[in-house]
Chains A and B, each alone.
Chain A
Amino acid sequence: MSRIELDELSACAPDGTAPVLHEISLAVEDGELLTVVGPSGSGKTTLLRALIGLADIPAGTLWLDGEDATDWAPAERDMAMVFQDHAPYPHLRVRDNLALPLRLAGLPAAEVAERVREVADRLQLTVHLDRWPNQLSGGQRQRLALGRVLARPRPAAYLLDEPLSADPELRGRLRAMIAGTTTVWVTPDIAEAAVIGDRVAVLRDGRLKQLGTPQDLAERPASLDVAALAPLTVLPGSIADGSLRLPIGTLPTDRPDRDPVLVGIRPADLRPDGDGVRLTLLAGDDGVEPDGTVRLRHPALARAAAENPAVSAEILARVDPAGRRAVPVVLDPARVLLFDPDTGAAL
């Protein structure tokens, strides 16, 4: 177990000499589970390679428990990593695949056998122990890759590069098995990142765009896709002369002129009463959802949604239509989120 800290760290991809990860500063606390999310090519894998010591680091520092580990060899860092391709050692049987990291660590043969038996049991690999990797299915290879990492005794940290492909049951078990050990878990799925992580780091184009708890990300998202972690209504809009024009109405604003913008509205900010601008929406066909959310409509919205796939066709709100066709709602102009339509960045 250990605390990992990155200070202005840049790192290169395996085939390049120019950094693809730029000046990342963040800390993973002892025992914390940090999820890293971002589109493909955003530098998630390179971040893990830098942590374990496989990437070139042209600038910056990596601290492990307060020691400068930037130039440490992978073996000295004692981290356990699941690679994205889940590739096993092709020349070793499943049993020896699981045992190799333990033998490299110099464990006595009896303990190696015991740990292999135990991890194979937990990951349902026992009947496959004497098979060759090319006889395994994709799911079995995925579990073998996890097993190679989970069999290791108390690594300093787990580094998991998209360890699971959509297997919620295994996800829960994996979380339980790594609980208490510092973990960096890479996933392309922002919803998964928010469910799993104590904190979430959002990468884009090799830069850290946001770092915070899932709640932070929902409250103050740095970009539209982060905001979309939680249910969100997205509307097209434009700002001119202190007013924000939306298909459903016009709000006062103190933001500078901009056309176009994308506007995000959280369901909880469309309320039945309180301070703000009064708007009228139309009830939809669906009832109230368990969390109190309803889907409302507006005549101007259907066309906008057809033109722009980023725009929502329905409006999520926390009001009870109570059988009315026209539903009055109140929106606090200070609560709306504004995004650049091209980059998705928050404004």
Chain B
Amino acid sequence: MRRAGWYAGTAAVLVVALLPVLWIVSLSLKSPATITDKRLWPVDPTLENYRSIAGSALFTRALLNSVGIGLITTVLAVALATPAAYALTRLRFRGKALVLPLTLAVAVFPPMALVGSLFDLWRALGLYDTWPGLVIPYLSFALPLAMWTLTAFFRGLPWEMEEAAQADGATPWQGFRRVLVPLARPGVLTAAILVFFFAWNDVVFAISLTSSDRSRTVPAALAFFPGDEQFAQPVGSIAAAAVVVTVPVLVATLVFQRRLVAGLTAGVVRP
């Protein structure tokens, strides 16, 4: 009985979570003639929508912007947050207790309250509609996110292993590379994935701080897809673009999740 309830609950969650995704996939496979037929299973599946966006400079350029801005944000955030989290975990310094609360305060600031003034500021500075124009505001949210994730992870690391390695004949550098880095890797990977998804999924900054395909990311570009004819909604193309940006996220999550879980359970033993 309890088992049946558990299965029913799981099924309900799956339907709620996956039905919209399936619907988008279904829409992306329909032709303009059948797109409003309200069926989940496409009558006459076609890849026309995918061909159309693949041939559209609007979409390919937006994809390039999304990947580039997302990767730059991720690399910078992790490169800065890792030493910061190390310092917060391992070193004693004045004002240490204030650092994490302050970064949290930055992270909870509503983006909508920022975009207005950023719009004016970026235009004055020439950052409007550029990659740095998006990377910088992303970093202000991604850095706290990465610092919190990494600090929590580093606090749980068995740092005494550093000394164990030295006792086993390692130089400090060998101890760092052969023991600490492998232990810290899953945490750094987690932070990197979270930051990349944050930048990849953002809409608010993307639609407010861009004006052309120089820097427009996919979520912002969706609104600019042309219909097949005037006044027709480009539903099929938008659905296909949505699938294209969602699939990598899903795949990455599945791939990394496995590695993350493996990395975390491979060993962390707290005596």
Contact = CB atoms under 8 A, between A and B. Distances in A.
Interface of A: 52-54, 73-75, 78-81, 83, 85-92, 100-101, 104-105, 132-134, 148, 152
A168 B171 CA distance: 35
Contact of B271 (A54, A75, A80, A87): A87
24 contacts: A52-B166, A52-B167, A53-B166, A73-B171, A73-B172, A74-B166, A74-B169, A75-B166, A75-B171, A80-B167, A81-B167, A85-B160, A87-B160, A89-B267, A90-B158, A91-B183, A91-B263, A91-B267, A104-B165, A104-B170, A132-B266, A134-B267, A134-B268, A148-B168
Interface in B234-271: 263, 265-269, 271
A87 B161 contact: yes
Interface size class of B (residues with CB under 8 A): 20 to 34
Given A75-B170, A100-B178, A104-B174, A90 B269 contact: yes
B182 interface: yes
Given A104-B169, A105-B169, 16 more contacts: A74-B170, A79-B167, A81-B167, A83-B167, A86-B271, A87-B161, A89-B165, A90-B158, A91-B182, A91-B183, A91-B267, A100-B178, A104-B165, A104-B174, A132-B267, A148-B168
A191 B178 CA distance: 40
B88 to A, nearest CB: 17
A81 B163 CA distance: 10
A133 B166 contact: no
B179 interface: yes
A80 B265 CA distance: 28
B13 interface: no
- Ranked 10 nearest A-B pairs via Cβ: A90-B267, A101-B168, A74-B166, A81-B167, A134-B269, A104-B169, A91-B182, A90-B269, A85-B271, A75-B169
A88 B269 CA distance: 8
Contacts of B268: 90, 134
B152 interface: no
A240 to B, nearest CB: 54
Nearest to A106: B169
A156 B88 CA distance: 37
Nearest to A54: B163
A125 B69 CA distance: 51
